[in-house]
Chains A and B, each alone.
Chain A
Amino acid sequence: MKINEIMTKEVKTLLPDTPAVEALKRLFENRISGLPVVDAQGKLVGMFTEKDILRAILPSYVSQVGRFVYENSPKTIKCKIAKLAEAKVGELMRKEVVKVSEEAPVCEVAHIMLTQNVRRVPVVDADDRVKGIVARSDVLDQLLKG
């Protein structure tokens, strides 16, 4: 079975100029953790997720300090949350995106999701235009159906 048979074809996308706060609101409203970012021609340019917001508001050294427990919300984080109001999706998104073609087998996508540690994978055509998106639950559902 090919991925284009199970992918969600009506894809909500973001533009790089979309304010980050507005993009985050859309994630909350749709109860999803990330959306693909496309340019004016519909070409995939990045992926914007809740993780990118966390990365923006936490200090950059957070992965290097091990156990460093904040009891109260420190001012540094509050200041960064305030600065988020001016940030755009294009500044925070991940530019290197794991993507697959429409002809990719479901098993291959499952393999990519596990090894690359991604929850959703945009499906693109030969020109990198977003044709759909597939979530981990969609892949699991299909695999278990047999």
Chain B
Amino acid sequence: MKKIVLKFGGLFFVSVASGFLSYACGLNTHQALSLAIFVASIMGTLFFWEFRLSFAFLGSGLLLIAKAIDLDSFLKLTSLDVILFLAGMMIVVSLLKDAGFFAWLVALILRARNLSGKKFTFLVMVISGLLACAVDEVTSIIFMVAAILEICDYYEVTPTPFIIISVLATNIGSAATVMGNPIGILIATKASLSFEDFLLTPFPIALIALLITILIVFRWYRRAIAEFDRHIEEMKADDILLKLISVPMDRHLKTSLSVFGAMMVLIVLHRRLELLLGLTENTILLIAPMITAGVIMVWKRHKAREYVERGIEWWTLLFFMLLFAQAGTLRHTGATDVFARLFADFARNNSGGLLALVLWSSSIGSSVLDNVIVVVTYVPIIKSFFALGYGSQAFWWALLLGGCFGGNITLIGSTANIVAIGLLEKEKNIRVRFRDWFGIGLTVGLVTTLVAWALLLLKNYCCTF
């Protein structure tokens, strides 16, 4: 009880203080009030994670009552396009789960001949990274953890290092495409960036970051990898492992893959198709999962309701909707213009300085907060940078890469981290301590953020890649 009172006290104090401080820094009453309510919502999410939706509802209601924003504008800021994209993707993922696609994919690890510790580590990282490019990080990490637990159980090695390794790769991979992380599609829609834009900038950066992380991990976990080698040598049981998880490539799986493949074609070529058909930017990107979900619900009509009611995480989507609207309110009131001005002054009106500020603050912020919260807070600020004449596409990439790579720094930095260590504790009764994670997490988080910074600067100033 004392803890709850302290948390509420902290929440109240920080919100009120942020309101007064921002007023002192030049924000007007409406702006300061909208900021205080937004901060209260975020603090509520931080202190009472399981009640985050309650805080989102309450905060939104307060903003409307305080006349910080009108209802029409509030509803427009909910980014329904992003929500529908995510809902569509969740239905597609439900189909793929049912078809056994993910199990088939992770079983590829088991098919590796002459498996060694390094080979296993490499495969785990590559498949984790690739999977995270195509589907949400939570779905991809659940399957990777399932496969790693089975394999490590078989070889009687502790799974902890390999699960951490998989999570690191998942967070890095999720930055590579529009679909890997909700912040990807959010940034794409707010900045009018296409899938091709992602292939040109964050994809190669994430790939380089992943390769460097593989090298770091080979060194950091050399003892665990060597132990794995010893156990493989003792057991020599490739054939038995091969039969452990088996998903035949049957007609259902092939058809599901075709449906998914068709959606991917639409997503990859969306900008070309939009130009050809004279559609607004990102129309096809956003509706591709919706069209695919519609086709799936006709094909699998007996399971359509289950996909919608259980496959879509309504709790998460509602939270996102209200969070987007609350952050958008800050821009609506003009509060973010003031902050953008302050940031620009802090960086001495230097775009390189602003880039560093966005990248590093989003990276560090994502290590303690959900990256969606960090990105949602930053989106209106970056938009204000553009309004002030400091705008650059690099800021969006800095936000994306900082938001994803920073999630590796602490064990609460990303949903993938929390899900993975939760499963490890449930299945193996192994508790990953903060310091077990922090060493490797900070190393990988810092190195990958540095790599992103260097490559973004190179791209920004040299215009060659």
Does B142 touch A at the CB level, under 8 Å?
yes
Cβ of B143 within 8 Å of any chain A Cβ, yes or no, is yes
Q: Which residues of A contact B97 (CB under 8 A)?
A: 64-67
List residues of B (73-127) whose CB comes within 8 Å of A's CBs.
Answer: 94, 96-100, 102-103
- Cβ of B423 within 8 Å of any chain A Cβ, yes or no, is yes
CB distance from B199 to the nearest CB of A (A): 29
Question: What is the minimal beta-carbon distance from B205 to any residue of chain A, in angstroms?
Answer: 31
Contact A65 B102 (CB under 8 A): yes
Residues of A within 8 A of B (CB): 59-61, 64-72, 74-76, 79
- Residues in A neighbouring B102, C-beta threshold 8 A: 65-66, 68
Which residues from B are CB-within-8-Å of A66? 94, 96-100, 102-103
B244 at the interface (CB under 8 A from A): yes
> Known: A69-B247, A71-B244, A72-B240. Contact between A61 and B100, CB under 8 A?
no
Residue positions of B touching A, CB distance < 8 A = 94, 96-100, 102-103, 142-143, 145-146, 149-150, 153-154, 240, 243-247, 423, 426-427
Tell me if B247 and A67 are in contact (CB < 8 A): yes
A67 in contact with B142 (CB, 8 Å)? no
B-side interface mostly: helix
Question: What are 11 inter-chain pairs, A to B, with CB distance below 8 A?
Answer: A61-B423, A65-B102, A66-B94, A66-B96, A66-B98, A67-B98, A67-B100, A67-B247, A68-B102, A69-B247, A79-B153
Expressed in whole angstroms, the Cα–Cα distance for A69 and B246 within the complex equals: 6
User: Which one, B96, B145, B154, contacts A61 given CB within 8 A?
Assistant: B145
The 8 residue pairs across chains A and B that have the minimum distance between CB atoms: A66-B97, A67-B100, A68-B103, A75-B153, A71-B243, A60-B426, A76-B153, A71-B246
Residue of A nearest to B240 (CB): A72
Say how far A78's CB is from chain B's closest CB, in angstroms. 9
Interface pair A70/B423, CB less than 8 Å apart = no
Across-interface contacts of A67 in B (CB, < 8 A):
97-100, 103, 247
* Given known A67-B100, A67-B103, contact A61–B146 (CB-CB < 8 A): yes
